[in-house]
Each structure stands twice: as structure tokens, then as C-alpha cells.
Copies of this chain bind each other. A is one copy, B any other.
């Protein structure tokens, strides 16, 4: 199909996407670290295929629903990096996936590990630990008890994982990557001390990625860093990564194409609002999104269908002109869209809204 000429829509530059995929894969390969990209960023099986073809060992998802979409499209190695609550329905769904793929799900408590008993022989678990982001994840020192609870019931323990989400702050990446490595090391150590092999130490986020790879090569005292990383955003980049210095503007592969609809108040008002871009605005963000072709401009006000742009003194684009907007958080923007326009072709966002 040809691209929609109607704005707003999300446009992907396939060459930039491939370059991002290859660049990060090559960096991981050089460091001897496996890449298991988080596909919640793009939610498109064909993009996961590009990542796997480039050398990724498998994919990461956040929900069983996402796993179902990607396994249906041929992905055969999936980590659900989330402490899934295993009620009867989710046990049934997870077991159905295991017929077609190697599936591992997260647990972050002894009780959670025990609830995984029905998965024995079909699906493994990985123990989520908290490396400082303070979201889900047990303290690393307690990972052994969780692993033991699973192993005692016969559930395969695949390793430990953490999400160093506190790397989403200016200048935070080096320290956060060190915390990630330390947490994974401690967790793996206590798991092994409990008599359980721990072949996987999985970490990673896009902002901490480079620092994590560096720390693997240069760790003093021999503490092993992550041997697997799970970045998501790197395939596209977004305004957060741009502003944090982790993704160059010229490598940004996804933009929202919007139209100037008004010059009210002497500013450009675009039709790409929060229902297109998402409403994420981190404390460090300089606005509600950026304009790729006007780096000095800022989106100073965002409504559902309006983005009010301060052009910082530059002349206003004409009413009717199209502009390329870089969302603050690309995962949120993608999850609002039914399709991406990749090099002019409409591609369904197959896992959009698969929150369960």
C-alpha cells in the first residue's frame, strides 16, 4: 500500500532503522554480549526479524499478549521481562506459547516463583532484581531464595535480569551501568551459591547501553557485567535519547509527520498532539517533543490534537506545511498508532495495545 498522505502519522526511515540495528548489534558483538532487543518499542514482527537477522539471540517483551503476537509471527525465543502474575488464564496462555517457542518469564518473589510451578518442564523463569530503579525486582541478595523456590518445584531457572531505568537522567549512565553490573553479579553469585546454575545475566536499556558495554570490557576486579542486554528504543531513537546524548539526531529513524494548522498567537500549531506523540515528559525534557528540522524549536504546549511550537525566532513554517516531529518517548508514540509508514509502506503495529 502507498503511504497515507494525511497527517498526523508515524514515518520510519528503513535505512536509518537498519543502521541503528546493525550499529548496536556490532557494538554488542565486539563486547561479547548477547542482544535481546525489547520489541515493545516497535511492536512490529518485521522489525524484530531485522533485529534477529542482524544477530539478536531472541526478543524481549513486557506482556504475554506481546509474546503471543511475536510468536505467532515466528519468533522462537522470548523473554517476558516482567513479573507476570500467573493466574490460571495466563498459565494457559504461557503454556500455549511454549509449544512454539522457548519462553522465559520473570519472577521477583518467592511466592511468584511458586506460582510458576504449573510451567515446569515447559517454560523457564528468570529472577528480576532491582539495580536501583526501584520499580519491580527483588533485592539482589535475595535472588538465591527466589531461584531456589523455583528450582525446588522443578521449574527451570534461566538466570537473573534487571532493568536499569534510572539511566533515564542526564549523566546517569556510567554510574547506573556500574550498579547494573554489581546487581547482576551479586544476584548471579547468590543463585550459584544456592546450587543453581545461572547462565544468563541480563540487563540493559538504551541510555545505559554504551556504558554497560564499556563496563563489560573494563571492569576492575573482574566483576562480570551483563552478558545479555535488552535495549528497545535504539532502533528508532527519540527526543529523550537525543536530549540525553544517547542517540544522534541524524540517526533518528521515526518521526511523527504533522501539518501546521494555525499561526495563532504567532506560533506554529501542529496537528500532532498527545494522541499521536504521547504525553511523556521527563523532568529533564526541554519540551513535549522536538522538530527534527528545527533543532532550536520547542513544543511548549501539548493537547490531544495540538502541539504549539515556539520556533525560537526562526520564521514560522506556513500553514499547511508538513514538519517532522520527534516524540519524547517513541514507545508511547508507536503504541498510539495502528500503523507505521515504513519507507512509504503501511505496516500494522501488530502488538499495539497488547497490555495483558
Contact = CB atoms under 8 A, between A and B. Distances in A.
> Interface of chain A, helix or strand or loop or mixed?
loop
A264 B8 contact: no
A267 to B, nearest CB: 8
Interface string A1-20: 00011111100000000000
Contacts of A9: 356
Contact of A276 (B6, B138, B355): B355
A264 B138 contact: yes
B274 A306 contact: no
A280 interface: yes
Contacts of A130: 264-265
Interface in A46-99: 62-63, 82-85, 87, 89-90
B109 A319 contact: yes
Contacts of A7: 356
Contacts of A137: 262, 264
Interface stretch (A216-224, A289-297, A333-341): A333-341
Given A62-B305, A319-B111, A336-B353, A84 B261 contact: yes
B259 A355 contact: no
Contacts of A40: 304
B4 A356 contact: yes
A264 B108 CA distance: 8
B262 A136 contact: yes
Nearest to A256: B355
Q: Would you list the 3 A-B pairs with minimal beta carbon distance, nearest first?
A: A6-B356, A136-B262, A279-B279
Interface of A: 4-9, 40, 62-63, 82-85, 87, 89-90, 108-109, 111-112, 130, 134-138, 165, 259-265, 269, 271, 273-276, 278-281, 301, 303-306, 308, 319-320, 329, 331-332, 335-338, 353, 355-356
Given A85-B260, A275-B353, 6 more contacts: A5-B89, A83-B262, A83-B269, A85-B320, A130-B264, A136-B306
27 contacts: A4-B356, A5-B89, A6-B90, A6-B356, A9-B356, A82-B261, A84-B261, A85-B260, A85-B271, A85-B319, A109-B264, A109-B319, A130-B264, A136-B261, A138-B264, A271-B355, A273-B355, A275-B332, A275-B335, A275-B353, A275-B355, A279-B279, A279-B281, A304-B331, A305-B355, A336-B336, A338-B353
